[in-house]
Structure formats: C-alpha cells, structure tokens
C-alpha cells in the first residue's frame, strides 16, 4: 500500500493532476477555500487614475523631478499603453503604483485605484492588494523567477498566495500536491501560452528568455487580480511569441481586467488598441486613442520616435547633448528638429491631445484642455527656430 | 591530419560553416535535442547578414559555433582557410589562438559585457595591453560618437546605448574581420536602436569586416542587411 502511494506520488499522472485518486484527499484537506475556475476570469477590473504624479529624488523641491505632473486615466476593458525611451520615467510610475520605489525616491500626487488612493495606503494594505488586486508583470523574467524552483511550482505558489494557502508544496523530491481545480488551471494556462506540461518540470534557467516571459504571462493570467501592470511584456520575444503574448494580454482585457502596459514596442499599442500615452523626460507629451496617435502623431517627439522604426527608414533621433535633465521649456527641445524658440523657454502643456482626439472629447474636457494649453498668441511672440515644418498644437475652440 | 578546403568553396570568405550539426545531450528530465542540422553558411568581407528565427531555434548557438566558442557535434567551420575545431592540431599554431582577436562578439546585454569594478577606460586599455596593440581608443571613440570623458566612468554610470557603443568601440580596437552582433538592440529603445544599427553597418562598410546580425526583428534585418538567413525548427 505504501509502495503504491509512493509510486503514484512520483508518477507523471499524479504530477500533472490527472491522477484522480488523490484529489478526494486534497478536497477534504482544503474544503471550499479555492474559488471556482470561472471566478478568476469573471472578476472585473477597476479604474486606475494617476493625478499630478511627481517623483523626485530625496523629496527635495530643488531636485529636478524624474516624473513631472503625470496624469493618466485607465478604464476597465480599455488598455492603456505607455511608450517612451529608456530613462523617461515609465517604470517609476509602475513602481509608484506598487509602492516599490527605491528608498531615495519620493512620490507626490494621487494614484486612485477605484476609490482608493494607493499613495496614501500603508505598506500593510499594499501587501493585501499585491497579487489579489494588482499584479506587476516585471521587466526581467530571468531575475523575477526563482532559479531554484521548477516553473510549475512557481505558478502554483501564486495560487497559494492569493488563495491563502490552498496549495501545499511538498518536499518529497520536488513533487507537490495540487487540488484538482488548480491542477487543471495551470495546465490550461500553460497550453494557452504554448508551453508544454513537461516545461513545468524545468527550472527557469532551463527555459529560454521567451519561455520565461510566457511563464510570467501564465502567472498574470492565473492571478485573480483586476489590475495588471505589464512592464515590457514583449521584450526579447520573437515575432510569433510576441503576437501570442499580445493576444493573451488582449484576452485579459476582454475578461474585463484593467491593463496598463509599459513598453518600447510600438506594435504593442497598435495591436492592443485602447489608449496610448507618449512620455519623454518625465512628462507625458501626448495621449489619446492609440490608433489616432500612431496614425497622426501630433507631437514632434512621437513623430521622431515613429521615424526611428526600421520600416520607416531607421532615422535616429539626435543624441542627448547635456545629460538627462533639462532647464525649463520642453524636455525634448534640445533634440527636436522642429523646435521653436518658445520651446526652450515655455514648459509644454500638461497633455497634448492629438487633433483627432480633441474632436472626440466632451465639452467639459475641451474646456479643461483649453485652460491647460498655451494660447497660440503667446507662442507667436517667439520667432520660428526650427524651420517651416514646425507644427503647433491648436486648441479647437479659439485658435 | 589537416583537411583541405573544398575546391568549390570561395576562398575569400571570412567564415564558413559546412554541414554543421549540434545536439544537446539528454539529462535527468531532458531528452537529447538536435538543435542544428546540416547548417551551411558563408560570410564575405564587408557584408552584413541577418540571422532570424523563433526563440530557442539556435541562433545564438550558431553564432557561438562560428566564433569558435562552442564545438559542433558534426561538421566543419573555417576561419578564412583555416579549419577550427580540429582534434589534432598543435596548440601554438591553432587558429583559435592565432586568429581569435579578429572574430568578436557584441552581446545582447551591454551591462553584463563590461566588468562592473573597472572603468570603461580600464576595460579598453586591458584589451590593448593583452594583444599588444597601438592605442587607438580616441579614434574609435570618435567613430562611435562617444565623449572621451566616458572612459572615466564605471559601466553602471552609462546608459544602455552608451554602453553598447562602448562595446562596439572595444571590438573595433581589435580590427575584427567578423563580428557576431547577438541582438545588440533588443534591450535598447527605438531611437538608440537606430543609432547602434547604423553604427554597426558603418563599421562593416568602412572596415570591411563581416557582420552576422542576430535579431527577431525581420523589418530591421530587411532594412540593413544584404542577406537574411532564417532558422526554423
């Protein structure tokens, strides 16, 4: 009898959850603590609103802000993508949402998740939200995964965490026991991302970078979290796997989860749709529906970024001249081929909305937009600097 | 016994792989895997060849085999007319020793390609000292549009694009004949990617070295490469 149990414990059928003999035991061990499989999918997302977010070094006002008055609006069922170059502060925003900023950085402003201001939450409250409500899809899968644990074990750990200890990790030769629903869940998710069951036996260092990335996707999907913040989810993936990952992210949105994607890859917002914010030098340069911005970018930085794509001729943006920070004016002005004189003196409007977008917004939003944008007559005081191609964002009500 | 180069092959090529196979041995939970099968590839001076394919197909592995870093299970690899991976060859005249400096690699992660405890200048000077070369650091820094002040910085004080350009400058010190650029821009953003790729193409054109550009990005390869090799499972 004992030998039979041991053999079954080490068998593939038991390991993959197909052995039904032990499931009754597990069901008795964990009565009714695990939510039904469908509950995970049916949990709806909540809105995320970032208002006047400012991140500074040491919290001193003299230090130039790393993130300067950023406003973002994420609605459930409509993904929000944030693109921009390295060092512009994209990942800092994600870290601020999760209270994971380095100790020397301080965030000011408001980040509302539903009705809750996350910046005002205590660390204990945030620990309760991590995984169960908000999930971070980290940038480096190689460093995010535990090299000493098999990939399947790490996925089930997520279940254990979010379901208060439903899964018991065994210590007998790396095997573990799974309640029937969880055993089916991880197998289902592995298949969805193109991983085989045998990949579940491997350690992260035995998987390629793309496979590790897919393993993280499984974790994001298996979570019951309503808000998913994905930091570079397609980094280093081949085109097929990248498309698959984007499809999976899109499925999460279809389930009603809120999705916030930080990426360098322009194809991600193009395929995901939803909204797009373009960031440079700690500020949002342009925001609006992704399709409109990518088809008709209004800000010179967005245009320069799109021109740097291989399919658009691989035209590089001029390199930085004086480090990262700027002294007043538009942060992109030192590198901008279309800069006017005023660009070097006047800080740009908080958010420049694409022309097409501004026609779609409500009257109230237009009024708010009108108050924020610099009046055109003020701009005309400065002579043109960057040539005739310079383009000015106009307010549709007065200009 | 040294084998002769087949007469049909072009003697001017920089590197040539003939019928290369590579198998990974099986392990406790892994079955043996045939990674590469009958791969033939030749690169000529000054040309830039793209190598693409899905994750795990063996792109980087093929690059390592061509660079003499990983012996194939079967097949032959030539640097010019010298066959590498010979079983019976004297250690002193082995092409892996005498020609090593001309066959170089640019890594995917620029941060891990420099020792963190040395300034970048020390790293570059170490290359010159080891190979007994003339000091051409300033010229090469100019070629990759880097300020000489960067030599005083540690790797952690440089951005990803600056570090990748520094890696290119370090490779150029050795006047290479063949460079494997293994996804050199996958960790860089769009604007920096355009700079780095244009720099590598310029180096290939001006110095006459062959470049094997490994990338997932087919659009990038079609834009800058004269030929494209696609690996599939």
pLDDT by 10s per residue, chain B, length 233: 333 334 434 458 899 999 999 998 877 666 788 889 999 999 999 899 999 988 778 899 999 999 999 999 999 999 988 888 876 666 666 777 778 889 999 988 777 889 999 999 999 999 999 988 888 898 888 888 788 888 999 988 887 778 888 999 999 899 999 999 998 887 777 877 888 898 889 888 888 899 999 998 888 899 899 999 999 88
| Low-confidence residues of chain A: pLDDT under 50 | 1-42, 165-180, 322-324, 355-362, 366, 369-399
B55, B183, B195 ranked by CB distance to A211: nearest = B55
- Per the prediction, chain A carries an average pLDDT of 71
Residue A397 confidence (pLDDT)? 35
Predicted local distance difference test score (pLDDT) of residue A36: 39
Q: What per-residue confidence (pLDDT) applies to A79?
A: 93
- When CB atoms are compared, the residue of B54, B159, B190 closest to A305 is B190
* A238/B53 Cβ within 8 A: yes
From the CA of B48, how many Å to the nearest CA of chain A? 16
- Global pTM? 0.74
User: What per-residue confidence (pLDDT) applies to A222?
Assistant: 67
Taking the mean position of all CA atoms in its chain, how far away is CA A213?
A: 14
Assign B162 to helix, strand or coil: helix
**A370/A295 Cα distance (integer angstroms):** 24
Pairing of strands B15-24, B74-79: antiparallel
Which chain B residues are Cβ-neighbours of A305 within 8 angstroms?
Answer: 190-191
Q: Does A305 touch chain B (CB under 8 A)?
A: yes
Rounded to 10 degrees, what is the CA torsion of B62, A311, A324, B163? 20
pLDDT value at residue B65: 94
B24, B141, B191: best to mutate for the A interface, most A CBs within 10 A: B191
Helix (H, G, I), strand (E, B) or coil at B130: helix
User: Best mutation site among A310, A311, A335 for testing chain B: the one with the most B CBs within 10 Å?
Assistant: A310
């Amino acid at each position: 009898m004992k030998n039979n149990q041991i053999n079954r414990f080490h068998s593939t059928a038991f390991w993959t959850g197909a052995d039904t003999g032990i499931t009754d035991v597990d069901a008795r061990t964990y009565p009714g603590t695990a939510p039904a499989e469908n509950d995970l999918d049916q949990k709806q997302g909540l809105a995320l609103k970032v208002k006047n977010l400012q991140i500074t070094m040491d919290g001193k006002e003299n230090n130039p802000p790393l993130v300067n008055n950023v406003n973002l609006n994420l609605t459930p069922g409509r993904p929000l993508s944030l693109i921009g170059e390295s060092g512009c502060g994209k990942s800092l925003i994600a870290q601020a949402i999760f209270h994971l900023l380095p100790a020397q950085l301080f965030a000011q402003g408001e980040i509302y998740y539903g009705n809750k201001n996350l910046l005002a939450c205590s660390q204990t409250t945030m620990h309760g939200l991590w995984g169960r409500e908000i999930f971070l899809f980290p940038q480096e899968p190689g460093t995010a995964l535990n090299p000493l644990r098999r990939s399947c074990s790490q996925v089930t750990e997520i279940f254990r965490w979010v379901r208060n200890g439903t899964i018991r990790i065994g210590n007998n030769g790396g095997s573990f026991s799974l309640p029937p629903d969880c055993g089916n869940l991880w197998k289902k998710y592995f298949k969805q991302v193109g991983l085989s069951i045998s990949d579940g036996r491997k350690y992260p260092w035995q998987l390629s970078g793309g496979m590790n990335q897919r393993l993280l996707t499984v974790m994001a999907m298996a979570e019951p979290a309503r808000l998913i913040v994905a930091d570079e989810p397609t980094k280093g993936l081949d085109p097929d796997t990248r498309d698959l990952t984007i499809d999976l992210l899109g499925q999460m949105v279809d389930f009603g989860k809120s999705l916030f994607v930080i990426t360098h890859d322009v194809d991600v917002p193009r395929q995901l749709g939803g909204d797009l914010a373009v960031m440079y030098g700690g500020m949002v340069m342009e925001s609006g529906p992704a399709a409109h911005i990518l088809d008709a970018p209004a800000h010179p930085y967005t245009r320069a970024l799109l021109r740097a794509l291989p399919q658009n001729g691989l035209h590089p943006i001029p390199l930085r001249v004086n480090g990262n920070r700027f002294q007043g004016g538009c942060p992109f002005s030192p590198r901008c081929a279309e800069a006017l004189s005023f660009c070097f003196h006047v800080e740009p409007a908080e958010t420049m909305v694409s022309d097409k977008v501004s026609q779609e917004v409500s009257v109230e939003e237009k009024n708010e937009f009108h108050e924020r944008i610099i009046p055109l007559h003020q701009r005309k005081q400065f002579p043109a600097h960057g040539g005739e191609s310079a383009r000015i964002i106009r307010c549709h009500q007065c200009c | 016994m040294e084998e002769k180069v087949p007469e049909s092959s072009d003697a001017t090529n920089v590197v040539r792989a003939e019928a290369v196979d590579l198998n990974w041995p099986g392990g406790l939970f892994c079955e043996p895997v045939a990674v590469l099968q009958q791969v033939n590839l030749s690169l000529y001076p000054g040309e830039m060849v793209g190598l693409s394919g899905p994750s795990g197909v063996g792109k980087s592995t093929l690059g390592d085999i061509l660079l003499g870093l990983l012996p194939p299970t079967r097949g032959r690899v030539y640097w010019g007319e010298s066959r590498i991976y010979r079983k019976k060859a004297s250690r002193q005249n082995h092409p892996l020793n005498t020609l090593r400096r001309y066959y170089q690699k640019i890594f995917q992660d620029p941060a891990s390609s420099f020792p963190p405890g040395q300034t970048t200048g020390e790293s570059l000077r170490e290359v010159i000292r080891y190979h007994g070369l003339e000091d051409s650091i300033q010229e090469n820094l100019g070629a990759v549009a880097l300020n000489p002040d960067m030599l005083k910085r540690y790797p952690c004080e440089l951005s990803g694009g600056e570090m990748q350009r520094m890696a290119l400058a370090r490779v150029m010190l050795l006047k290479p004949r063949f460079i494997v650029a293994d996804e050199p821009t996958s960790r860089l953003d769009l604007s920096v990617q355009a700079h780095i790729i244009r720099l590598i193409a310029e180096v290939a054109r001006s110095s006459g070295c062959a470049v094997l550009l490994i990338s997932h990005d087919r659009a990038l390869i079609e834009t800058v490469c004269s030929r494209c090799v696609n690996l599939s499972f």
